[in-house]
Amino acid sequence: MRQPIIFWFRPHASRSGRKNYQNTKCGRASQISQLHRRGGGAYGSPVQQAAKASNALYTARIEPSITSRKLLRASDQQLVILFFRGDPVFQPVYYNFHTPILALGGSDSSSGISTQATSRQLPLLRTLFETKKRLTDCLAVRQFHNLALGQHIKTAPITQLPREMRTEIYCTGTLLAAVQNSHLFNDCKHFVDMALKHDPETVLKNWESLVTSTNGEFTTEILANFVDENFDEPGCELEECQPDDFNEEIDNFTSITDPNYRKWAHDLHKKWPTLCRRVSQKVLSDPERFSLLAVPNPFVVPGGRFREIYYWDTFFIVKGLLASGMFSTARGMIENMGHLIMHYGFIPNGNRVYYLNRSQPPLLTWALHAYYQATNDLEFVKMALVWLEKEMAFFMANKTVQRPEWKYPLFRYHVIAAGPRPESYREDLESAEHVPDLLEKCRLWGDIAAAAESGRDFSTRWFGSDGPMAGQMGSTRTSQLLPVDLNAIICGNLRFFAELYDAVGENDAAARYREQFSAMRDTMHDVLWDEEAGCWFDYDLVHDCRINLYADTNFYPLYAGCTHDGFDAKRIAEYLAHVGVMEFPGGIPSSLVTSGQQWDFPNGWAPNTWVLINGLRAYGQEELAKTIADKWVRKNYFMWLNSGKMFEKYNVATKCCKVDAGGGEYELQEGFGWTNGVILDLLMIYKDELAWTANDPTTVPDCLCCRGHLPTDVAAVPEVVEPIIEEAILRSRKLSCAAQEASSILVHSAPQAQA
């Protein structure tokens, strides 16, 4: 039996102590005020009960000099149970550990610990139950009744839990495992998007009856019949709709001088209704029968398999809506984000119950700032600022790392998981096949989910360089890195906070955020900026070094305005030239690593391209920005001309319209919300500067694909490349090899690019 280690954290009573407690982060435990022994302190009795009932190992008080890394060694392979005053979801401490955590908390009262099993904790308990690693009667604490690990969750006192019984179908449990492992559906997301024909309790009872009657041995046909009898196909939870402010014929794009691009802009504008959805009345009336999380306003979806809201897509979609003059729809999408924050304390990856263990790049502040710039709607800004504050509190509490020498915390993507992602269940099981220990599997699944939280799922950026799985999904280590893009986004949020508070006349708040922005900017410079290379890079917390490799996310500080005093944007221009990415004909690639992952070479993506272009523009690199924009717009338009479709990603290493982007866990998706939004915004920025000339061919004369000599899949890369591309690749390979030697990070062979 695994013995739990029970930790009990309590903030200082003083105001300064409370401030220190809220600033406690991953690097050190020096600000944690107490780690009590059995029986000590105001809450000694219930903690003592829990420790005694669970036969717990219990550690001594943490001294200021003890780092969390040393504490981790003591708790290796154990279940860590944390008691909190208040809601544990918003406490910073329990995310410092890589072992499975059961964090319990509740009302902030002095009468005892009021505990709740939230949807975040239940999957971990369920995993322990199903694997028979029992901790009998572990939590003999008042107001947490009749919980016996290894038996069944009995949580009658928790009033909100019945509405979350759907998590036992969509997020965890034997039904989910059976369906996903049976390959009933090619895409695991299909099942978790299906609606229930009955309430969750009935479906679970039906499932228990089937398991009992068959002794757990049933054919795929029997399982398929069960799914047919208890589930409806995806789609009934959403309705197609036309935005109220959509007008098919508008004059917004008349200033685009090139007639080809002007017509294209109108065509893309007309696609908004095809991507617009609203939550059906069925979901509003009976939410527990759906995995969808209801929101009040219509919204634009990405397209394809992505039927719902996705957090960071929303910003780039909003930019396109603003270009189309659809201010009401843009505001409604921002309001939907606020609705999710007020209900869940943060914006999940998407509005599905199975996304509630993670967020995505926090771009709500950027979206509100863009909306305000376009509309000057101060009343809405006043209303929305509370959402921004609440989201910032969530990221400060759950995603930060602090070291004594830093002026401000830095941020990482970090998810605690107790199983595979429901929407990619089989893929995650396969990624963890080589891991024998359940707790290590959970750690890996958490890092895979954290990579999804980054929006960059997946890339060798997140992979490790050690062990038999080096450079593969099984080595994912997202939580060990401080990403440039995440930190730049949050630093930019602080800058925008100051601007927005100034706009509404709250000058004290504005001054406070300007001070925080300055402190974080300085910390980013100290930790992420490499003076020799002239660029920002992700920071490796394990090896204590920057990872000096090209990624299209290295440039987010430009748009966020998080540059240090004396910064010269020519350094970025020189870096882009040095690594050779300016030589690719279709735009900027995600990386220079050939891996088969969709966020690696040769794929380029709209969001990071947009951020780079506008970051360069902000620092006077107009010509370089226009060059990148021209390549990206041409690539998108060429594919549109030959397919009539817009895609989520593009192969930027070739001009050819017959070579699709590839890689990843699913087929290439078209639609596509953020791609459309970025193109509309860029066409309006460069309305009289970009042109599709009349003699641009619909095929590329020197392209083997166009001459019919090569398959049209992304893996078919010609052996012969133009000398200028070859030279660029050699330069990037040399840089990558040097970085590998310096930081022990795996670097694959550099790619070859098609002319």
List the structure tokens of 653: 């290493």
Handedness of CA 731, 737, 741, 744 (dihedral sign): positive
Burial of 709 (0-12, 13-18, 19+ CB in 10 A): exposed
Give the Cα separation of 235 and 248 in Å (integer): 26
- The verdict on whether omega for the bond into residue 218 sits within 30 degrees of 0, i.e. cis, is no
Q: Are 322 and 368 in contact (CB under 8 A)?
A: no
168 is catalytic: no
Instruction: List the Cα angle 369/375/378 in 5-degree steps.
Output: 70
Parallel/antiparallel/unpaired status of strands 5-8 and 195-196: unpaired
Residue 529: partners with Cβ closer than 8 Å, 6 or more residues away? 535, 536, 564
Q: Residue 643 is which amino acid?
A: S
The two structure tokens encoding residue 187: 């895409």
How far is the CA of 647 from the CAs of 303, 489, 606, 661, 724, in angstroms?
A: 9, 25, 10, 9, 28
DSSP 419-455: S--GGGHHHHHHHTTT--SHHHHHHHHHHHHHHHHTT
Contact 732, 632 (CB under 8 A): no
Q: Which of 258, 428, 552, 648 is catalytic?
A: 648
Active-site residue (options: 164, 308, 391, 457): 457
Distance, in Å, from the CA atom of 344 to the CA atom of 267, rounded to the nearest integer, reads 37
**By the 8 A CB rule, do 482 and 360 touch?**
no
3-state secondary structure 193-249: CCEECCCHHHHHHHHHHHHHHHCCCCCHHHHHHHHHHHEECCCCCEEECCCCCCCCC
What secondary structure letter does DSSP report for 117? Answer: -
Q: Alpha-carbon distance 443 to 97, whole Å?
A: 10
β-strands 238-240, 299-300 pairing: unpaired
What are the residue ranges of helices labelled H in 231-357?
A: 259-269, 272-275, 281-285, 311-323, 327-344
Q: How far apart are CA 182 and CA 394, in angstroms?
A: 37
How many whole angstroms separate alpha carbon 476 and alpha carbon 490? 23
- Looking at residue 129, its amino acid is F
Distance CA 242, CA 281 (A): 16
CA distance 744 to 464: 9
Q: Among all chains, which residue has been given the structure tokens 């070579």? A: 659
* Token couple for 661: 């982007």
Pull the structure tokens for residue 663.
């890689």
Q: What is the DSSP string of 341-405?
A: HHHHSS--SBSBGGGTT------HHHHHHHHHHHH--HHHHHHHHHHHHHHHHHHHHHSEE--TT
C-alpha dihedral sign at 116, 117, 120, 124? positive
Tell me how long the chain is: 755
Catalytic site residue 164?
A: no
Contacts of 129 (CB under 8 A, 6+ apart): 149, 150, 151, 152, 153
State the CB neighbour count (10 A cutoff) for residue 722: 14
Please give the positions annotated as active site.
457, 648
